[in-house]
Structure 1
């Protein structure tokens, strides 16, 4: 009985060794494959960091772009500003109408 247990433990140890060796080889292969794409990963990291910065500083980016446009192309900036103002007004009107309709639908469905 005892020798069967030792043989079983020995086979487990051998299997574990083989798995650890295979895992090490797989890690080496993966590292070699990934290292070829390191510049691409670095570019992706910079892009993600840039997007995060823009999200944190959104109003600053918009203000800077608007100011730059105003300095470089004043007439175009005025035209875009007027268009943006009218789009904002339309958005506010439709948002109010949509919310009112949604409120009415919710009131009808709760009866």
Structure 2
């Protein structure tokens, strides 16, 4: 007997309004991680720490590129991304990031 997948998770959730258990939300990519309630603040701080290691200009450019770009045709989305990247190139943050990248020991 052939088995076929049915539907789209997002559409199902929108149309049914069914609650989504945390494990299912993680399984379908709605959340990044599931942690015990007592560890939620530490997990959130860990995510923030990973983000703020990067230059604010770079983080801001990523947000400016992704947020509108997700709803654009691919060619327009890539143009938005390229413009955001180009705006970061002359910044100190990019120069510092490139210097750190080039100074890393070779993987191997």
Whether the TM-score (by the shorter chain) exceeds 0.5 is: no
The higher relative CO (CA closer than 8 Å, separation ≥ 6) is in 2
Indicate the structure (1 or 2) with the bigger Cα radius of gyration: 1
More helix by share: 1
